[in-house]
Structure 1
Amino acid sequence: MRKNPRLLSILAYLLILSVGAGSRFINPEEIKASEKWNLFTTLPPVSSESQKTVLGAQDLYSGSYVLPVQGDMLLAHINKFNALPSTYVPPGLTKVTSVSTQGTQYLRGSILPYLYQLFGAASQAGFKLSIVSAYRSYQSQVATFNYWVSQYGYTIASLGSALPGHSEHQLGTTLDLGLAGKEWPTGYSGSAASSWIAKNAYKFGFTVSYQPGKESITGYIAEDWHIRFVGVDLAAQLHKKGITLEEYLSRL
């Protein structure tokens, strides 16, 4: 039987984490209670190197603060500790048209002009982008996470996931990018298109939330496909300073 190298690397990382995390990290009862959790990323972690500085089990299970819904929530500080209410639905959800999408996707209507400009500029640079995933409801993420738990078990699945309400996708301002006609994420991650996005997304108000080398700050493995709209001015500021949105919001 052919062994899965991705799974082996995750198991090795699990062993390292469990030394200091106590038995709760591998408690079978938590696997049974997995229905209350949801998936942040579409796939389980793929790189043992990028996982070395991801927040450990003590942080993952340390509890949450549910953010009050105030204003447009465009800059809501969502991370491993701050969550959106489970009932939160962003205003103005609109079906994304005119660009390539995998299935039907929704985002806030107010950010679509910026998105279309981004896709247009990418096309001129030779990259045909596609939206793999945009708005995700709290409930849809629960279902997705349950699937990955059934495939890998709760502990492994949770290494690349967020707790309920902790996903930026629930804001309706966040999307996962891919390349039209290419496999995802392998066809996009680390590609010339990914590099172009990292250098140019800010011009259209987007920032890459989970950047390489920032794992210990964001608490998530690097995801070069995951971008969030924060407005042109702030995106330019983040890009100029070389910091993530998490760093910016944590300093306020």
Structure 2
Amino acid sequence: MKLKHLFPILGYFLLLGFGTGNRLGSPQEIIARESWDLFATVPPGEAAQGSVLGAVSVLQAGECVLTVEGEMILAHVNKACALPVNYVPAGLTKISGIPSTGTEYLRADILLYLHQLYGAAKTAGFNLSVVSAYRSYATQAATFNYWVGQYGYRVAANLSALPGHSEHQLGTAIDLGLVGDPSFTSFPSHPVAGWVAKNSYKFGFTVSYPNGKQAVTGYIWEPWHIRWIGVELATKLYKKGLTLEEYLSKL
């Protein structure tokens, strides 16, 4: 079956056919039950491609593999440093009570904060959904290979993280969407993008790839991508206008 038959024209879709109810799922069980191992986006238009090619990373080309220690909440995952192939966060739990495009998993200790964010957004008039959360190394490999096949390595490297280099593998990163519109095409221009940017820190989340920081992060603007780092640090970064990449690079 060809990829074009799997994905609609709009949006980013996670094709996962697994679930473990509301209980904790073991890493082996969750990974084994992923179907297709693919998360892909609709290829950008010419204008978007231009902005992608213009995103120049200040990170070095050399790669390091991170040492797994502690809870990995502040693991410095970027284009230079990767998580081990076999790294799977503990306590992955099915996300329930929040609309999603598929069955999604997140670290159990982050779920409360996600629900608080969801509730606050709803009060503000935005019905958020979860498009993607935890993503295994294998899934990210398929994602990146898809983009390479569509546009070549250079563009793919600014659209998608290489396997091991995705924050989603930590189980603390989420791609948000809107109910009824899971596509990321309209998200940047929708008022919800501004709301997420101005309010997510209150619940411990930071927007990993904000607009104007492409040269720092090496990725295009992704107003839908948030990562949990704790309320104290998220608040600090928000007030100082810093990305997590900038903060971790100075440690």
TM-score by length of 1: 0.78
- Provide Cα deviations, 1:127-180, integer angstroms capped at 9, x if missing partner: 000111110000011122223333333443233122221100000000111100
Describe the shift of the 1:173–1:230 C-alpha distance in structure 2 as closer, same or farther (beyond 3 A): same
Residue 86 (structure 2) pairs with residue 84 (structure 1):
no
**Contact 1:190/1:224 (<8 A) preserved:** no
Higher helix share: 1
Describe the shift of the 1:91–1:158 C-alpha distance in structure 2 as closer, same or farther (beyond 3 A): same
How much has 1:50 moved relative to structure 2?
5.7
Residue 114 (structure 2) pairs with residue 112 (structure 1):
no
**SS of the residue aligned with 1:189?**
helix
* 2:76 aligned partner, one-letter code: H
Query: Could you list the runs of 5+ residues in structure 2 that have no partner in the other structure?
Result: 1-36
**SS of the residue aligned with 2:187?**
coil
What is the aligned partner in structure 2 of residue 141 from structure 1? 140
Describe the shift of the 1:197–1:90 C-alpha distance in structure 2 as closer, same or farther (beyond 3 A): same
1:168-247 alignment to 2 at 5 Å? 168-247=167-246
Describe the shift of the 1:75–1:186 C-alpha distance in structure 2 as closer, same or farther (beyond 3 A): same
What is the aligned partner in structure 1 of residue 125 from structure 2? 126
**Contact 1:79/1:166 (<8 A) preserved:** yes
How much has 1:44 moved relative to structure 2?
5.1
1:7-22 alignment to 2 at 5 Å? none
Describe the shift of the 1:155–1:216 C-alpha distance in structure 2 as closer, same or farther (beyond 3 A): closer
| Deviates further, 47-56 or 203-212 | 47-56
Larger Rg: 1
1:66-105 alignment to 2 at 5 Å? 66-105=65-104
CA distance in 1, matches of 2:40, 2:206: 17
**SS of the residue aligned with 1:100?**
coil
CA distance in 2, matches of 1:42, 1:137: 17
**SS of the residue aligned with 1:63?**
coil
CA distance in 2, matches of 1:180, 1:73: 31
CA distance in 2, matches of 1:179, 1:206: 18
What is the aligned partner in structure 2 of residue 251 from structure 1? 250
CA distance in 1, matches of 2:111, 2:241: 25
Residue 50 (structure 2) pairs with residue 52 (structure 1):
no
* 2:214 aligned partner, one-letter code: E
**Contact 1:50/1:215 (<8 A) preserved:** no
**Contact 1:40/1:167 (<8 A) preserved:** no
CA distance in 2, matches of 1:193, 1:243: 21
What is the aligned partner in structure 2 of residue 35 from structure 1? none
CA distance in 1, matches of 2:52, 2:158: 12
What is the aligned partner in structure 1 of residue 23 from structure 2? none
CA distance in 2, matches of 1:119, 1:78: 26
Describe the shift of the 1:159–1:218 C-alpha distance in structure 2 as closer, same or farther (beyond 3 A): closer
Query: Could you list the runs of 5+ residues in structure 1 that have no partner in the other structure?
Result: 1-37
Number of residue pairs matched? 212
Paired-residue identity, %: 59
CA distance in 2, matches of 1:139, 1:192: 34
How much has 1:219 moved relative to structure 2?
1.2
**SS of the residue aligned with 1:101?**
coil
**SS of the residue aligned with 1:226?**
strand
Describe the shift of the 1:44–1:82 C-alpha distance in structure 2 as closer, same or farther (beyond 3 A): farther
TM-score by length of 2: 0.78
**Contact 1:131/1:178 (<8 A) preserved:** yes
Q: CA RMSD in A?
A: 2.2
Describe the shift of the 1:49–1:154 C-alpha distance in structure 2 as closer, same or farther (beyond 3 A): closer
How much has 1:39 moved relative to structure 2?
9.2
**SS of the residue aligned with 2:116?**
helix
